[in-house]
A and B are shown apart, each in its own frame.
Chain A
């Protein structure tokens, strides 16, 4: 079928002045191939219809046609900014399905790597959000620090973006003392540099005016739309998978779940900034208490899963990711379902954008921290 997708819409106000504006699929403000059809009255948005699917790769179907290890690199390519969380979710799901043991040292390293990944994702979001608001320097300031995280992660995983580091039953390779010291050095330096972020942006009066009371999500809506991650916490609901359904040994670490009651862009901003600091704390604790021992338990070379189903939830930088696997036995899963956070988070955009100025709508979209390939899968 060659018919273009026609979004269904009803306009509240129909008149000569209204027009439809195609925001995307190529637009600097949509962070990827997202298209939003905006119905505008001058600068005001009457209705926003996100049109998805430009980056649809049938990730679930691919996973169903692959053996469990083969699906691993694909999973990490959904959310390219938080690849390790996806990596972790998949290995956790298969480990739970097949009841593989994971050594404690491997768990600790997993936590360190995932939290570093989370910081790098938040940093990129920080820069991109400011880019949406029109500030360019923050973007590159965040990138310089993110680059150092990428260097650190590259040293253990071998890649810079779409990491594929965790394996069933542990890790393919151990980390050494030098790497851990390097991480600690980074944390120290980064703590010194964090005030710069706050000086440049958090206190800035223009930024304040652009983000305060813009795009308010009420807690009721946040829960109703199935939002998760910093967006949910920015609306005053305290829910973090790491805290409430701990996996991979998160219950061993002492950290807080930052919550902001305002529900606006500034609230989400504050939550993410606080999360960066909490992640630093988690990493420090994980490194100081890292146990010795092997990093991979005995796992059969050919993985045949027993019959059954399993669901695993993981807190990615963007929210709650659930991987649900149904197995009929054998080397391949029968059905795989990804519940991705960005998809649910995007669902509230149409509601929030209504009646806003174009500039605000883009600020809202930026504050939602979209990764479009994750939405489209």
Chain B
């Protein structure tokens, strides 16, 4: 393999631009979706239909003072948002946008993304511990407890797909769905995947670690300005990656008629993100112990049964 320094820098810049742009669009979209689902309009003032609102907010956040609480564990406190954000740059690398547009084809891309997804939790835990705030600590602890509920069903989902395709490479998985998308074979698995991914990205109805009405703002209670915006950036980027993974695993990646591959990928990704926003603005929050039992009693059996049936069908 032949990687020049220049291309690495080029990819990094492209990914950084994607992360930034994605967050700008998603924050705006989220506010718009929330607004219209609640008989409101959402941002309307900055730019046409408020499209530049996020930019204005971003500038405001960046120019704000970074307040570090006196009693906080300063190194951890500062490290936490970065720990949350950095893995994204790595996780974006193996994500294929079309046959040709992909930062780097890795034959274990899927594993990389799944593993890096865990680092987000580490960031949350560090933030919770480092801010020396009881609410933040509870948020961090919840995020760790949450892993137990979703990681296993998520892995089983992914395993099923890997079993069907016989490859860890995201590109191969997408190519294998040229004719029929996996979601048609595995509708239940798709639902399980969406639920676990909502859990993984800390989105309502599973937003335990922020849980506004319970924990004020959870793990980022003490963060202001830049730290807060980095967490935001991370959250939306994880959503993007999770939706990108769903696109490749279930929705046939870049395959689709008429439009070019990249467009199809983006359309699918943003539809899934819209679905997750739709969840958020519809449901009340699940209680944490209920979520754990939901993970073990419903998600796990469902995905396992699915796995076994798939294995059986494949063996025939």
Contacts and interface: CB of A to CB of B under 8 A. Distances in A.
Question: A and B from one assembly?
Answer: yes
A18 B282 CA distance: 35
Interface stretch (A1-9, A63-71, A253-261, A358-366): A358-366
Interface in B258-297: 281-290
A139 B212 CA distance: 14
A136 B207 contact: no
B38 to A, nearest CB: 4
Nearest to B208: A359
A204 B283 CA distance: 8
B285 A136 contact: no
B37 interface: yes
B38 A359 contact: no
Nearest to A38: B134
Given A134-B204, A140-B39, A209 B286 contact: yes
B213 A29 contact: yes
A358 B213 contact: no
What does DSSP make chain A's interface, helix, strand, loop or mixed?
helix
Given A28-B212, A135-B283, A137-B37, A19 B288 contact: no
A43 interface: yes
A201 B39 CA distance: 17
B284 A210 contact: yes
Given A43-B138, A131-B213, A137 B281 contact: yes
A61 to B, nearest CB: 35
Interface of B: 34, 37-40, 134-135, 138, 141-142, 204-205, 207, 211-216, 281-290
Listed residue (A21, A43, A140, A359) with the most chain B CB atoms within 10 angstroms of its CB: A359
5 contacts: A29-B213, A137-B34, A206-B205, A358-B138, A359-B285
A130 interface: yes
A141 B37 CA distance: 9
A136 B34 contact: yes
A68 B86 CA distance: 67
A80 interface: no
A134 B38 contact: no
A346 B141 CA distance: 30
A132 B284 CA distance: 9
A360 B284 CA distance: 13
Contacts of A204: 283-284
A132 B213 contact: yes
Interface in A14-36: 19, 21, 27-29
A205 B121 CA distance: 28
A140 B40 contact: yes
Nearest to A28: B213
B213 A362 contact: yes
A133 B285 contact: yes
Nearest to A128: B213
A344 interface: no
Contact of A359 (B141, B205, B216, B288): B288
Interface in A94-135: 130-135
Contact of B134 (A19, A138, A359): A19
Contacts, number: 81
Chain A: interface residue count, which band?
20 to 34
A357 interface: yes
A136 B214 contact: no
A289 interface: no
A134 B205 contact: yes
A144 interface: yes
Contacts of B211: 134, 359
A29 B286 contact: no
B178 to A, nearest CB: 38
A29 B282 contact: no
Contacts of B39: 140-141, 144
B287 A137 contact: no
B295 to A, nearest CB: 14
A207 interface: yes
A357 B288 contact: yes
Contact of B281 (A136, A201, A359): A136
A358 B287 CA distance: 10
Contacts of B284: 130, 133-135, 138, 201, 204, 206-207, 210
Interface in A323-377: 357-360, 362
Interface in A274-327: none
Given A134-B204, A140-B38, A358 B214 contact: yes
Contacts of A29: 213-214
Contacts of A138: 284
B287 A136 contact: no
Contacts of B134: 19, 21
Q: Which 8 A-B pairs have the closest CB atoms?
A: A134-B285, A140-B38, A135-B284, A133-B284, A29-B213, A144-B39, A132-B213, A359-B287
B198 to A, nearest CB: 13
Given A21-B134, A134-B212, A210 B286 contact: yes
A142 B280 CA distance: 18
Contacts of A131: 213
Contacts of A201: 284
A293 to B, nearest CB: 40
Contacts of B142: 43
A19 B134 CA distance: 9
A58 B212 CA distance: 33
A21 B214 CA distance: 12
A302 to B, nearest CB: 49
B38 A206 contact: no
Contacts of A141: 38-39
Nearest to A130: B284
Contacts of A362: 213-214
A84 B119 CA distance: 54
B213 A206 contact: no
A136 B284 CA distance: 8
A356 to B, nearest CB: 10
A134 B213 contact: yes
A21 B215 CA distance: 11
Contacts of B215: 358
A358 B286 CA distance: 13
